[in-house]
């Protein structure tokens, strides 16, 4: 519990006692019962990193792409788009048109440009505040129209998923996903949980580059999951935050969604342009909910817009203009696809470099998962204690669950990182006298 | 407290095998009744029939959606006006709906200072990394200083928790969530009338609200006694939503003596003042003068909420830049409150958008640009004052009934409550192609000097000839 609910009346009585004149001597506050919120586990990592003056520090926390010097990157396609829109006087009146175009282009990425979902207009799509905003809109929508429903989240999942559905007052359950002993997918358990959930349950799925584990189902496994979802009539909600980052190819990375579409599921999907376009701070994403027909889609869209209007009004235009420009200008779009591939490739080579370094150091542990896992993150298997040691002794920062953002690895720091990991794991090894297991 | 939407269902879309007939609506829950199926629980399962027969029909699966029967949400009353205006083909049409500033030529206006700053930002080529959850530090600093004054003790003593929000709406929503969490029994008192979206925000945040009298149709002015009586009658520890300046929709603000009395009463009743400052600079043309009400309350050592928006005064409507400020009695309380605002923001949107924040930080943080902004602000507020004067003059010249139109000059800011009722407002639109909201509100920002006489004719006609 982050807070204690106290009736306001308690504070009225206290306040009365303390007021004798218009200037109060003591600093009594309405907010005395407000405790400090605990730090967000992911954002808190960056805060700790920034507070560390050591030059060797490495931030492997937030999933934000870095270049080989560890610097943030603004893609050239984005710079081109910035130049193109510069000075254009944005008229509120064209907002709706641009927004619709953006939504359509975004959905083509996910559903396929020839998808009949798009040509038939069977989608309710709105621009959202990146992936978080898209998930939150859906959670609120789910609560409003299925007030008794729950959400099944994979175990583990991005920590903010729990916050989102909780704040939307939708009870959360988890389904088994990650197998710590194989550092891979616990497919049998996943299918069991899907089967045992009550019919028509809402499930959140990561279509590719699972966060935090980097473990994705194979194509065949996705087919089985889709089939079972049909049997159980479950609602699949996809959080697509890393399209392009898993394989470098947008269509390949969307295969899970395409399989579900082929099977006739009417899915929901949150998309983010934070990572794959490097537009983190602009908060651009999209929420789509597939419907039986266009008319229903119009109704659903209007409800989503209403939820958005009471939360923040409308989404910020600058990011919208950038994404819209990139997706609709064929030269800029091609450049983007190439730059995306380059980012994905750099991360793959980081994975190989880290694994090789650890193996070359003679670490007795199995590090295959570093290259088996996919996308921006590696679920290292490091324990919280080891994670803390890395921070304290080596100024290397990651989340407590041992998730490493591979984008933070560079050719300059990979040896240092491997050495540090090797040391903290060897030390534990000696102490526990274990070889391959509970690690 | 207004409950969750009661969904009224329209007839379901046709689908081959799952034939869903017209349904009844049920507050907060969807109930579908199908002649062929009996539902023993309230969960909707359009495929239950198929499941029991052991075969899954893919075709039915494609066409039946679990969101069948979700009705169109009602159109937003304010934005709907612009849509209707666009559809009107008459040359005489006038859009006095949305409160977005227009030039004398009735064109949208991007402030020169904003263009300058955007060019600077483009040249600098800054990165696009995530802001911290609480927003851009440079923005948070300047926005609080702009509101309270840089020398204000609440700033110097770090007693203000400031968090960047998505314009006024987003900032209000953060505060509403904080109220819901920490004062679960408290109500928000809102003026009657108030900006339409206030109610939506508190409803969605599950915060109960009630209204205090504000607008007096007889005087087309402030019903001060009614306001005081209603605030007095409310349970102790209520949150009182006040418009810092340029009340929306009426344009009617309390005078300084009235603000003092309101503050006295709020202190006496242990209420918490909650200011919505959407027009700082736009009311009088002076940023400091427009913050006087907020500063008066802060000077008394009161704890308060203040939502800010840069949509109008910097013309940054679509960039969604604003802030929530919570003034506390100690730096410690402010730090704790800030941490909880962050905790609320994270599952809403994670961190706020950078572009608008950088623009404001650059404009307000640079003395030369700040002065330029102040000049443009005075120009915009000045244009509105001129338009008010011309409208008033036209009304007096054309109306021989002796009606007192001086409220046009006394009201302040972008909006004017004309005193026209719904039927009369409809006449404005249907006969005169003047688009406005049904409550009689006109946006003077959408009026040019050239159109004042036409508008005067329309108002006079609607007022006298329509009931």
Owning domain of residue A367: 41-72+345-438
Mean pLDDT estimate for chain A? 90
Residue A27 lies inside a defined structural domain of this protein: no
DSSP string, A161-213: HHHHHHHTT--EEEEE-EETTTTEE-HHHHHHHHHHSPTT-EEEE--SS-TTT
**Do residues A60 and A107 both lie within one domain?**
no
Q: What is the three-class DSSP state of B20? A: coil
Q: What ipTM was assigned to the predicted interfaces of this complex? A: 0.89
Q: How close B68 comes to chain A (CA, Å)?
A: 7
End-to-end Cα spacing for chain B: 33
CATH code, A369: 3.90.1150.10
Per-residue pLDDT, B31: 35
Task: Give the C-alpha separation, A434 to A419, whole Å.
Answer: 20
**Do residues B177 and B250 both lie within one domain?**
yes
Per-residue pLDDT tens digits for A354-395: 999 999 999 999 999 999 999 999 999 999 999 999 999 999
**Do residues A284 and A316 both lie within one domain?**
yes
Domain count, chain A: 2
Phi-psi region of A354 (alpha: psi -120 to 50; beta: other; left: phi over 0): alpha
Residue A78 lies inside a defined structural domain of this protein: no
**Contact status, residue A3 vs residue A36, Cβ threshold 8 Å:** no
Query: Quick one: three-class SS letters along B63-130?
Result: HCCCCCCCCCCCCCCCHHHHHHHHHCCCCCCEECCCCCCECCCCCECCCHHHHHHHHHHHHHCCCCCC
Per-residue pLDDT, A367: 95
Task: Give the C-alpha separation, B273 to B327, whole Å.
Answer: 10
Pairing of β A268-272 and β A285-290: antiparallel
Question: What are φ and ψ of residue A346, in 5° steps?
Answer: -65, -40
Among A294, A328, A362, identify where a domain stops: A328
**Contact status, residue A339 vs residue A76, Cβ threshold 8 Å:** yes
**Contact status, residue B138 vs residue B313, Cβ threshold 8 Å:** no
Residue A36 lies inside a defined structural domain of this protein: no
Q: How close B149 comes to chain A (CA, Å)?
A: 21
Q: What is the three-class DSSP state of B138? A: helix
**Do residues A100 and A178 both lie within one domain?**
yes
Position A21 pLDDT exceeds 50? no
**Contact status, residue B405 vs residue B389, Cβ threshold 8 Å:** no
Mean pLDDT estimate for chain B? 86
Residue B19 lies inside a defined structural domain of this protein: yes
Task: Give the C-alpha separation, B101 to B384, whole Å.
Answer: 9
**Do residues A119 and A59 both lie within one domain?**
no
Strand partners, A185: A178
**Do residues A45 and A113 both lie within one domain?**
no
**Do residues B420 and B289 both lie within one domain?**
no
CA angle B321, A282, A350 (to 5 degrees): 150
Among A328, A358, A375, identify where a domain stops: A328
Residue among B223, B230, B253, B276 flagged as catalytic: B276
**Do residues A292 and A426 both lie within one domain?**
no
Torsion of CA A308, A309, A313, A319, to 10 degrees: 30
Position A62 pLDDT exceeds 60? yes
Among candidates B239, B229, B243, which has minimal Cα distance to B193?
Answer: B243
Residue A130 lies inside a defined structural domain of this protein: yes
Question: What are φ and ψ of residue A240, in 5° steps?
Answer: -100, 90
Residue B74 lies inside a defined structural domain of this protein: no
Task: Give the C-alpha separation, A163 to B346, whole Å.
Answer: 8
Residue A414 lies inside a defined structural domain of this protein: yes
**Contact status, residue A100 vs residue A305, Cβ threshold 8 Å:** no
Domain count, chain B: 3
> Which residues in B230-385 belong to E strands, given as ranges?
239-243, 272-277, 304-309, 322-327
Residue B439 lies inside a defined structural domain of this protein: yes
Residue B458 lies inside a defined structural domain of this protein: yes
**Do residues A288 and A206 both lie within one domain?**
yes
Pairing of β A396-397 and β A403-405: unpaired
**Do residues A242 and A380 both lie within one domain?**
no
Subunit contact B182:A78, Cβ cutoff 8 A: no
**Do residues B402 and B256 both lie within one domain?**
no
Q: pLDDT tier at A13 (50, 70, 90 boundaries)? A: very low
Residues 160-179 of B with CB under 8 A from A: 165-170, 173, 177
Task: Give the C-alpha separation, B312 to B291, whole Å.
Answer: 15
**Do residues B56 and B91 both lie within one domain?**
no
**Do residues A323 and A349 both lie within one domain?**
no
Task: Give A337's Cβ-side CA count (13 Å radius).
Answer: 12
Task: Give the C-alpha separation, B458 to B462, whole Å.
Answer: 6
Subunit contact B197:A230, Cβ cutoff 8 A: no
| List of chain A residues whose C-beta atoms are within 8 Å of the C-beta of residue B201 | 310-311
Residue A19 lies inside a defined structural domain of this protein: no
* Tokens representing residue A37 in the block: 């919120």
Q: Provide the 8-state DSSP code for A280.
A: G
Residue A339 lies inside a defined structural domain of this protein: no
Residue B280 lies inside a defined structural domain of this protein: yes
Residue A282 lies inside a defined structural domain of this protein: yes
Neighbours of B417 (CB within 10 A): 24
Q: How close A186 comes to chain B (CA, Å)?
A: 27
**Do residues B47 and B138 both lie within one domain?**
no
**Do residues B321 and B435 both lie within one domain?**
no
Residues of A marked active site are found at 158, 239, 275
| List of chain A residues whose C-beta atoms are within 8 Å of the C-beta of residue B63 | 292-293
Residue B332 lies inside a defined structural domain of this protein: yes
**Do residues B253 and B349 both lie within one domain?**
yes
CATH code, A235: 3.40.640.10
Q: How far is CA B240 from CA A24, B209, B355, in A?
A: 22, 10, 32
Residue B44 lies inside a defined structural domain of this protein: yes
| List of chain A residues whose C-beta atoms are within 8 Å of the C-beta of residue B352 | 283
Q: pLDDT tier at A93 (50, 70, 90 boundaries)? A: low
**Do residues B335 and B440 both lie within one domain?**
no
**Do residues B387 and B326 both lie within one domain?**
no
**Do residues B430 and B392 both lie within one domain?**
yes
Helix (H) or strand (E) holding A240: strand A235-240
How buried is A193 (Cβ within 10 angstroms: 0-12 exposed, 13-18 middle, 19+ buried)?
Answer: buried
Among B365, B388, B419, identify where a domain stops: B365
How far is Cα of residue A110 from the mean position of the Cα atoms in its chain? 16
**Do residues A110 and A66 both lie within one domain?**
no
Pairing of β B209-213 and β B322-327: unpaired
Q: Does B359 touch chain A (CB under 8 A)?
A: no
**Do residues A65 and A98 both lie within one domain?**
no
- Nearest residue in A to B178, CA atom: A34
Among B365, B395, B427, identify where a domain stops: B365
Owning domain of residue B42: 2-63
Residue length, chain A? 439
Residues 48-77 of B with CB under 8 A from A: 48, 51, 56, 58-59, 61-68, 70-73, 76
Interhelix angle for A95-111 vs A255-262, to 10°?
A: 90
Residue B125 lies inside a defined structural domain of this protein: no
Task: Give the C-alpha separation, A240 to A375, whole Å.
Answer: 12
Among A328, A360, A385, identify where a domain stops: A328
Task: Give the C-alpha separation, A409 to A70, whole Å.
Answer: 7
**Contact status, residue B360 vs residue B148, Cβ threshold 8 Å:** no
Among candidates A269, A240, A261, which has minimal Cα distance to A138?
Answer: A269
* Residue A52 CB contacts under 8 Å (≥ 6 apart), including other chains: A395, A397
CATH code, B426: 3.90.1150.10
Pairing of β A172-176 and β A151-155: parallel
For B91-115, give one letter per residue: b (16+ CB within 10 A) or e.
Answer: eebbbbbbbbbbeeeeeebbbebbe
**Do residues B263 and B302 both lie within one domain?**
yes
Per-residue pLDDT of chain B (467 residues), as tens digits, is 333 333 333 333 333 333 323 333 333 333 333 333 333 333 333 333 333 333 333 434 444 667 777 788 887 777 778 888 989 999 999 999 978 899 999 988 999 999 999 999 999 999 999 999 999 999 999 999 999 999 999 999 999 999 999 999 999 999 999 999 999 989 999 999 999 899 999 999 999 999 999 999 998 999 999 999 999 999 999 999 999 999 999 999 999 999 999 999 999 999 999 999 999 998 999 999 999 999 999 999 999 999 999 999 999 999 999 999 999 999 999 999 999 999 999 999 999 999 999 999 999 999 999 999 999 999 999 999 999 999 999 999 999 999 999 999 999 999 999 999 999 999 999 999 999 998 899 999 999 999 999 999 999 999 999 88
Among candidates B162, B358, B312, B43, which has minimal Cα distance to A82?
Answer: B358
**Do residues B10 and B100 both lie within one domain?**
no
**Contact status, residue A43 vs residue A63, Cβ threshold 8 Å:** no
Per-residue pLDDT tens digits for B143-172: 999 999 999 999 999 999 999 999 999 999
Q: What is the three-class DSSP state of B365? A: helix
**Do residues A357 and A314 both lie within one domain?**
no
Among candidates B55, B44, B70, B71, which has minimal Cα distance to B17?
Answer: B55
Helix (H) or strand (E) holding A18: helix A8-18
């Amino acid at each position: 519990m982050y807070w204690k609910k106290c009736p306001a009346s308690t504070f009225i009585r206290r306040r009365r006692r303390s007021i004798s004149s218009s200037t109060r001597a003591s600093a009594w506050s309405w907010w005395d019962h407000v405790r400090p919120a605990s730090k967000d586990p992911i954002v808190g990592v960056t805060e700790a990193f920034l507070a560390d003056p050591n030059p060797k520090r490495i931030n492997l926390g937030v999933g934000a792409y870095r270049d080989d010097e560890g610097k943030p990157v603004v893609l050239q396609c984005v710079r081109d788009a910035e130049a193109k829109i510069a000075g254009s006087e944005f008229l509120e009146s064209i907002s709706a048109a641009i927004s619709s175009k953006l939504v359509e282009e975004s959905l083509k990425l996910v559903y396929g440009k020839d998808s009949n979902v798009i040509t038939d207009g069977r989608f309710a799509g709105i621009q959202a505040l990146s992936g978080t905003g898209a998930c939150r809109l859906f959670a609120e929508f789910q609560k409003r129209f299925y007030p008794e429903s729950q959400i099944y989240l994979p175990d583990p999942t991005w920590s903010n998923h729990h916050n989102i559905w909780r704040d939307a007052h939708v009870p959360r359950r988890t389904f088994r996903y990650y197998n710590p002993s194989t550092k891979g997918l616990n497919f049998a358990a996943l299918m069991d949980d899907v089967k045992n959930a009550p019919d028509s349950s809402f499930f959140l799925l990561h279509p590719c580059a699972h966060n935090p584990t980097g473990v994705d189902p194979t194509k065949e496994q996705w087919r089985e999951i889709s089939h079972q979802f049909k049997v159980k009539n479950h609602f699949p909600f996809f959080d697509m935050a890393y399209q392009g980052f898993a394989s470098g190819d947008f269509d390949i990375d969307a295969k899970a969604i395409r399989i579900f579409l082929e099977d006739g599921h009417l899915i929901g999907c949150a998309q983010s342009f934070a990572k794959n376009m490097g537009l983190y701070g602009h908060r651009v994403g999209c929420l789509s909910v597939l419907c039986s027909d266009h008319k229903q889609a119009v109704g659903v869209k209007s409800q989503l817009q209403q939820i958005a209007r009471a939360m923040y009004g409308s989404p910020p235009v600058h990011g919208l203009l950038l994404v819209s420009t990139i997706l609709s200008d064929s030269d800029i779009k091609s450049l983007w696809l190439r730059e995306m591939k380059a980012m994905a490739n750099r991360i793959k080579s980081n994975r190989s470099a880290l694994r090789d370094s650890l193996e070359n150091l003679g670490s007795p542990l199995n590090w295959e998962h570093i290259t088996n896992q996919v996308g921006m993150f590696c679920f290292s298997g490091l324990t919280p204690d080891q994670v803390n040691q890395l921070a304290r002794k080596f100024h290397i920062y990651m989340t407590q669950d041992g998730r490493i953002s591979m984008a933070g690895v560079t050719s300059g720091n990979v040896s240092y990182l491997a050495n540090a990991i090797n040391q903290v794991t060897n030390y534990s090894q000696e102490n526990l006298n274990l070889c391959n297991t509970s690690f | 407290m207004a409950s969750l939407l009661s969904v009224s269902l329209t007839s379901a879309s046709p689908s081959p095998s799952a034939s869903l007939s017209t349904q009844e609506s049920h507050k907060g829950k969807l109930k579908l009744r199908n002649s062929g199926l009996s539902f023993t629980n309230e969960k909707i399962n359009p495929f239950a029939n198929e499941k029991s027969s052991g075969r899954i029909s893919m075709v039915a699966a494609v066409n039946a959606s679990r969101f069948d029967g979700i009705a169109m949400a009602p159109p937003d009353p304010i934005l709907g006006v612009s849509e209707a205006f666009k559809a009107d083909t008459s040359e005489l049409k006038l859009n006095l709906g949305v409160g977005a500033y227009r030039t004398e030529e009735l064109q949208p206006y991007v402030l020169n200072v904003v263009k300058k700053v955007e060019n600077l930002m483009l040249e600098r080529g800054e990165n696009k990394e995530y802001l911290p959850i609480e927003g851009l530090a440079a923005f948070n600093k300047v926005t609080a200083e702009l509101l309270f004054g840089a020398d204000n003790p609440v700033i110097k003593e770090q007693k203000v928790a400031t968090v960047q929000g998505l314009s006024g709406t987003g900032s209000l929503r953060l505060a509403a969530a904080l109220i819901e969490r920490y004062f679960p029994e408290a109500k928000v008192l809102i003026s009657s009338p108030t900006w339409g979206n206030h109610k939506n925000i508190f409803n969605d945040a599950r915060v109960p609200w009630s209204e205090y009298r504000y607008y007096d149709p007889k005087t087309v002015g402030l019903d001060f006694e009614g306001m005081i009586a209603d605030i007095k009658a409310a349970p102790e520890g209520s949150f009182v939503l006040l418009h810092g300046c340029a009340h929306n929709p009426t344009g009617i603000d309390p005078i300084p003596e009235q603000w003092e009395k309101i503050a006295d009463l709020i202190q006496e009743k242990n209420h918490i003042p909650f200011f919505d400052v959407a027009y700082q600079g736009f009311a009088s043309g002076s940023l400091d003068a427009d913050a006087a009400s907020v500063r008066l309350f802060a000077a008394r050592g009161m704890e308060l909420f203040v939502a800010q928006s840069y949509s109008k005064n910097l013309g940054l409507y679509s960039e969604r830049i604003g802030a929530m400020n919570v003034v506390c009695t100690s730096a410690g309380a402010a730090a704790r409150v800030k941490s909880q605002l962050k905790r609320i923001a994270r599952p809403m949107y994670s961190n706020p958008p950078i572009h608008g924040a950088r623009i404001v930080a650059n404009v307000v943080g640079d003395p030369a640009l700040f002065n330029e902004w102040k000049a443009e602000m005075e120009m915009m507020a000045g244009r509105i004052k001129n338009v008010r004067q011309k409208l008033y003059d036209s009304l007096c010249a054309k109306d021989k009934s002796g009606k007192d139109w001086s409220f046009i000059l006394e009201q302040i800011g972008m909006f004017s409550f004309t005193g026209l009722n719904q039927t009369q407002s409809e006449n404005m639109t249907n006969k005169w192609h003047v688009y406005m909201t049904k409550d009689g509100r006109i946006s003077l920002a959408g009026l040019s000097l050239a159109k004042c006489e036409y508008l005067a004719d329309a108002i006079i006609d609607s007022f006298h000839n329509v009931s």
